[in-house]
Structure 1
């Protein structure tokens, strides 16, 4: 029940009456051990009991993990917060995506927010209260508590619940933000956190897409941009900052995939994790540079990371995040495979020193809680990994959140489930909260008197965010009365305490700028940075403060100065930016990207100021960096000049060619043409690169371009570059070579692409000639490759072969099999069977195709119309029985190669269609693996959903949308074959409600083969 009587408008509350938020999210694993038992002595059902919750966990030496709460006090904790009294507030996810988990019972009254408390001092919760229950918060991903207000994140809404009478029950409900997409989706809206500046910070993954106010209007940020994805200017996942009432809304960074939570330290520095496209070992940790683009998709076009481009990196993490592109912020740390969730900055002292002032993070994929100690590195940072808690023997451990308690200990929420991600839930009965602290440390909550300035300042020093937020609001409301106590804190030896004091002192009416002046002259670069950040939030001219720091000795300070120039149109801004640019050392990507952020929207003016200063001495490592990063028109001829320099190696020239893609100057074509035929080393290669960046119109208007294209086509025959050139210039003259390619590579994307272009550019007759008059091997190759294209023209040719009774039955059968290798092809075969068009002589290959089809309704056609379609291998035992069996890894590998490798990659072998499985044994226990195989529709990984595209001519194509821009959709079909469709030729699209992995895959193998397969997958770690 949604308690609709709680609905209330957010308007009418002053910022100081609204309350901040700390939230965290969803499924996870984690590990640690206390009273270690031999887990092998327990049955599978015993292992899952709360009394053995610690058995499978391993805790870092010097720390211990204790069980604070478990079922039946709570189930499926998605997020939590800890209030100043030490109580743990938890959002539950029992009613998680019922449409994808239809066999799971739901709670009709909806999911709950529960309050867990230790009232007898034994460091374990003994009471569980329900603060609120309703279907409007099913599987909420974030909660932040402050006194009697609770902010809850659950797409499409951000709710503020208020307990008006102090009975720990919600009495009012308001909407702060609305319209956020991704309902019950972990890529939607995530948790809020209260910043040291008194503002709210939160984020959305790439399914969130838009932020609206309580009245359903799209929110506009402080620069006037609508807060939505789509490239105008923001893309994918975003990070936000706003006042407590939602005003002064800012988009702080964008182009993440699933940035699960944002953590803010006392200096106002932001940190995040981001999940890769599943299975690509590309999970990353980010320092969030304000206004930065984080490269999940192409900044300008929105193309996906697999899309071929100039300078594309060989390694997947670099390629995945567009790290070679000008304008993409560097990643701080790559952590491999995972499913990251909650994150915080630990600014307490109870844990060992290695964790002081460092990030602590939950990642349920590898079942771990870990820290990332950070070191300064130029204008940016470097980081390492320190584990805290690991689920070594219990892969059901899924840490969904981690939070700091008032005593400095940390608490971990454990969703506890055999699966993680993919929207599947295997267990609804369990959930745990663990506490991690030094050995023998009892949970004792300190008491503070927030009614006095001194008491509030003491609370401001606490590592618990709830206490700090309450103290901040109290001190801010006290104003001048709090100044003496805050000055004492400002003059302390702890720089993080000083930063917290500074934020409040800077907002004092009348003399806040005096404290900013002190901060800008401080010996600690972090305090100078905090001073500048605080100044930017005041209604003052920022230029005088920038002038004080523009030549600062610390590169991280100058980084912040560059960011402070973002969209600043003061006449002095260009000159100041030029001074900063002159201090770039040519070896600091963080600094370079800060310069790019500072020059955003004003590149021509800023770049000109730099050129006036640097003059003819621009061609240095630092100068080349700035030219590469620039979006100024004046940089275009300089890029061409660098490419034409014989001393610049080809790899560097790739970098400059890629930079052309980010310019819109009309001079681009002229400068590119000037590169053609310049008799440089590797000139042929340069000509090819040049042609790939020219417009089609250049070919039509320039004989020089035409001549270069002729030479490039000759040099690239048999390669993807040849395909790219034919497609770019829409060359109908190259069908002979396209046919040659499709025959030579019938099982690769190269051959499939060639066949697609051949039938698209008028070569259907040539392909038909091969099928009719070619050698037998040529005919077989042509038939095979045409099946993979899935295009209507190709299917027509295959149908002609199938129905041609003058051909031998083997060739006609091959055409049936080929046609059945695509979505529209198997549908066409089903129609032919239903309508009696298919000759009985082809029943056997048709039965094989239809019986192994993706869709139930297609498989049913085989059962209804064709004999011998029953593939039943006998009744499999239940999953609970299967997990007790031991399989043969070597045989399981053979089963994988036969049944799974067509869609999945393991250690570089296989096809990139579904998620990579190289480390799947670290992510899923056997229960999860069996469920994924037997019920694939219940666990579709985000980004691997299937789509059906209907073309203007009525034909269809199906697969995974690998990349999409304003003009093109790139569709990946089974077998890993990518096809590009123009948006203009697509009439409609429909997302499939099922996985592209066929249900019933296990029916094609014996029970022992299934057990062997799971044994093999479990070994992949």
Structure 2
């Protein structure tokens, strides 16, 4: 068995900082990794060359740049001088790093989560700033005294030393920069003077630094006229002008990758229930918070909705498709493999690191109408059995590294993946028995970089002369995304004289490489423009789409409206959807023709297509609905086609209220058609819509229950200003305010009657355990029973070791799962309510033990505080014996 010895690299090199790592955990056996046939994984670098890697990039010389997080969260300040950015290099070509030097170490650096390198310019994501560092003398060491320059590109990002903060910057094929921010949110102003105000209820949560009061701006418009909440993705020019928010309302998207056709992919963390990998539909709303940022998804979960649907609001108009929702996890870095050493069959592979699951997922995204199908595989894993441990979604128990080699699979924590200019993949490994929960257990702060390449691979980094067109073409064809940017910029500035060289790129058999040339055509003179026009009338839908996107990214240098008008009737739904989204910032008299034409070709099923129409309409959804009606002539409300009804649902026009009320009550329509009409009314923010729902909630109405549920929900949410509660009482649709019930979770006992060791010494009886587990139904779902309060128990016991399951029952406060922290509300009458806050409006909605949900008017709240113990009761408090716990553990292993 081969083992990686962590100090085989740079064994004699002294540490470059005062902090001294502790005891090293055992090394990962290389044969623990499973990866595609024909590929091999080899150690490329390890501590002390690097520690706790958070993000990496690879420059055109093949050097790997790494941001470190030694001072992560509770370990802040343990490294004298601050965190570091290190440059790693294989100088002798033997496939292993033999040089490590510190580019920059500074107290300003505290677990930075992103780095992007463009020749001698380095961008670092370090809240509250996005930094630009220029290594003027190119000595690989940032030193302002030697003329190196530090610039703040943008500022106003919350979450220094917080996971949900500013993430990495990446160059797109359009020459633009992309970066994202988690739901700690931000208020920032680009270099054009445009301010973006992105807020939410998630404020001062989970530690870190919060210089901007994003809770105060939640629901406010940004200078582009739109409201943004939650995490978001920004596209901007390299000089930080012309910034746009191209996706928003995430929880915590760790990183984005943009392929050469201009599609943006990301992953997003909501542990434990609904992590996902997705395509970012341009300008799309991911659906995590309510549109004003005050309500979490579970405050608006409808009766019968499953978690993935409710979590990303997939049955709400205005939410983009969620992609692959796979459950609990801790997604991190992403990359899109287009060309290189791995071979043609891997071209077009989306890679997504999932640290909690000890895996890098692989996807081959397939277009599905205007969206994508994302079928998931395990590209690289140490845990094919999928028995996970040391993560929030497994119970969050802190588990120290064990010498047992079988346990080491849990220590593989891929934090990032990147394609090098040699065509190989490089993976940073955080190497820790714990992930999530703002915690680390590896006191050595170990780090590894693995290389994935064909067996027997010899790394060759092409020598690129960026001063010449041929060198720029070589850079443009690079497998490394940020190297391609260098070639793009050189060819763009060269202009018409570079046309012939770039035109040859269009002939490349690899469609991703060929697409890179399309983006340059607008800048290559008359021949470039002519070629662009010929591509737009060609037979390849992907090329037409890319060409139109290239025109759109010229920031108005080429007028895109005439092209959009032609493409609105294109044979490809993804091209038509792009034409619709391109109308977002236009006046309706300009966009009407395009949007109506695109709407006419809606098939009634394609969610990404429908959402693109709504996105493109921007603030003119009412006018568009009327224009579509004039064109389609849908007839009487009960005679509408399902296509027109679904368009109405998405556009949310106030003028449709009478017709929707008629459809909801129409006996000749199916139950599904009537329910869609009720849902449509619920998303139209008008008093008329509320009145219509009140009529539909009357006794004897076929949609009474649904209408009433929406009235109660909306009266506490986006319709709170309508004062519906009194009207609902007058109509006897709801009762007078129910007195608030005090709910106090008992304090954690000072000691327990038995220990985890006592439980593990017993043999469990699964059949008896199923009966005993009925006590858990007050907080957990078991089958169809139980509330959405604690984690769903299905599959819980099979994902981790029995001692971890036992610990979570015996002492649930030992490590509280992230996402299940409690809040204690003190009422002015002296009562206390302990629970999860699911909506922070007026009233505050809090869910307590047993799933009891109460609505607390803010004027009745004296104070509130975070709880320092679990909301779950321990085994002793539930009257369980050690044998009871052993039995439940045995049952959970089968459930």
TM norm structure 1: 0.72
Q: 2:579 aligns with which of 561, 567, 581?
A: 561
Structure 1 residue 989: Cα displacement: 3.9
Q: 2:272 aligns with which of 275, 279, 293?
A: 279
Deviations 1:397-456 (A, max 9, x none): 111111111122111111111111111111132221111112222223222222211221
Deviations 1:172-227 (A, max 9, x none): 43222222112222111111111111111111121234445699995479xxxx99
* Change beyond 3 A, Cα 1:938–1:140: farther
Q: Distance in 1 between matches of 2:831 and 2:189?
A: 37
1:633–1:665: 8 Å Cα contact kept in structure 2? yes
2:205 — aligned with what?
A: none
* Change beyond 3 A, Cα 1:759–1:550: closer
Structure 1 residue 165: Cα displacement: 2.0
Structure 1 residue 578: Cα displacement: 1.2
1:307 aligns with 2:299: yes
2:755–2:810: 8 Å Cα contact kept in structure 1? no
**Secondary structure of the structure 2 residue equivalent to 1:191:** strand
What pairs up with 1:501-900 in 2 under 5 angstroms? Answer: 501-508=517-524, 513-538=529-554, 539=556, 540-569=558-587, 571-617=589-635, 619-669=640-690, 671-672=692-693, 675=696, 682=702, 688=708, 709=731, 725-726=733-734, 731-732=735-736, 757-759=737-739, 789-790=741-742, 822=744, 853-854=747-748, 871=751, 888=763, 890=765, 897=773
Q: Distance in 1 between matches of 2:539 and 2:503?
A: 17
Q: 2:259 aligns with which of 265, 287, 299?
A: 265
1:798 — aligned with what?
A: none
Structure 1 residue 634: Cα displacement: 2.2
1:279–1:916: 8 Å Cα contact kept in structure 2? no
* Change beyond 3 A, Cα 1:155–1:657: same
**Secondary structure of the structure 2 residue equivalent to 1:575:** helix
Q: Distance in 1 between matches of 2:882 and 2:698?
A: 64
2:16 — aligned with what?
A: none
Q: Distance in 2 between matches of 1:904 and 1:47?
A: 38
Structure 1 residue 978: Cα displacement: 2.1
**Secondary structure of the structure 2 residue equivalent to 1:667:** helix
Q: Distance in 2 between matches of 1:62 and 1:356?
A: 15
Structure 1 residue 333: Cα displacement: 1.9
Q: Distance in 1 between matches of 2:496 and 2:333?
A: 37
> Structure 2: where are the runs of 5+ without partners?
6-21, 144-148, 199-212, 221-226, 384-405
Q: 2:825 aligns with which of 930, 949, 954?
A: 949
1:66 — aligned with what?
A: 42
* Change beyond 3 A, Cα 1:676–1:1012: closer
Greater Cα shift, 912-921 or 337-346: 912-921
Deviations 1:682-734 (A, max 9, x none): 366577568657988789779xx96xx55xxxxxxxxxxxxxx42xxxx33xx
Structure 1 residue 626: Cα displacement: 0.8
1:368 aligns with 2:359: yes
1:327 — aligned with what?
A: 318
1:962 — aligned with what?
A: 838
* Change beyond 3 A, Cα 1:292–1:691: closer
1:249 — aligned with what?
A: 243
* Change beyond 3 A, Cα 1:499–1:580: same
* Change beyond 3 A, Cα 1:697–1:256: closer
Q: Distance in 2 between matches of 1:455 and 1:890?
A: 69
2:426–2:451: 8 Å Cα contact kept in structure 1? yes
2:223 — aligned with what?
A: none
2:116 — aligned with what?
A: 144
1:369–1:387: 8 Å Cα contact kept in structure 2? yes
* Change beyond 3 A, Cα 1:238–1:988: farther
What pairs up with 1:13-28 in 2 under 5 angstroms? Answer: none
Q: 1:466 aligns with which of 467, 482, 487?
A: 482
1:178 aligns with 2:155: yes
2:278–2:322: 8 Å Cα contact kept in structure 1? yes
Q: Distance in 1 between matches of 2:814 and 2:161?
A: 14
Structure 1 residue 959: Cα displacement: 2.6
2:806–2:889: 8 Å Cα contact kept in structure 1? no
Structure 1 residue 1006: Cα displacement: 12
2:51 — aligned with what?
A: 75
Q: Distance in 2 between matches of 1:565 and 1:204?
A: 26
1:203 aligns with 2:78: no
Q: Distance in 2 between matches of 1:957 and 1:216?
A: 45
**Secondary structure of the structure 1 residue equivalent to 2:680:** helix
Structure 1 residue 306: Cα displacement: 1.8
Structure 1 residue 569: Cα displacement: 0.5
Deviations 1:290-340 (A, max 9, x none): 111111123357432222565x55321112111111111122222233211
* Change beyond 3 A, Cα 1:587–1:872: closer
* Change beyond 3 A, Cα 1:573–1:758: closer
> What is the count of residue pairs matched by the alignment?
816
1:753 — aligned with what?
A: none
1:202–1:240: 8 Å Cα contact kept in structure 2? yes
2:433 — aligned with what?
A: 418
Q: Distance in 2 between matches of 1:373 and 1:302?
A: 36
1:452 — aligned with what?
A: 468
Larger-Rg structure:
1
What pairs up with 1:38-117 in 2 under 5 angstroms? Answer: 48-50=25-27, 52-98=28-74, 106-117=78-89
Q: Distance in 1 between matches of 2:831 and 2:438?
A: 31
1:398–1:420: 8 Å Cα contact kept in structure 2? yes
* Change beyond 3 A, Cα 1:184–1:526: same
TM norm structure 2: 0.82
* Change beyond 3 A, Cα 1:577–1:442: same
2:756–2:803: 8 Å Cα contact kept in structure 1? no
* Change beyond 3 A, Cα 1:683–1:155: closer
Deviations 1:115-158 (A, max 9, x none): 22212222111222111222322221111112122211133222
Deviations 1:237-277 (A, max 9, x none): 1111111122111111111112111110111111111222x
2:443 — aligned with what?
A: 428
Q: Distance in 1 between matches of 2:670 and 2:471?
A: 64
Q: Which has the higher helix share?
A: 1
Structure 1 residue 902: Cα displacement: 5.7
1:365–1:922: 8 Å Cα contact kept in structure 2? no
**Secondary structure of the structure 2 residue equivalent to 1:78:** strand
**Secondary structure of the structure 2 residue equivalent to 1:528:** helix
Q: Distance in 1 between matches of 2:23 and 2:34?
A: 18
2:219 — aligned with what?
A: 231
2:469–2:491: 8 Å Cα contact kept in structure 1? yes
1:338 — aligned with what?
A: 329
* Change beyond 3 A, Cα 1:387–1:945: same
Q: Distance in 1 between matches of 2:852 and 2:196?
A: 40
**RMSD of aligned residue pairs (Cα, Å):** 4.0
Q: Distance in 1 between matches of 2:81 and 2:794?
A: 41
Q: Distance in 2 between matches of 1:543 and 1:642?
A: 37
Structure 1 residue 676: Cα displacement: 6.7
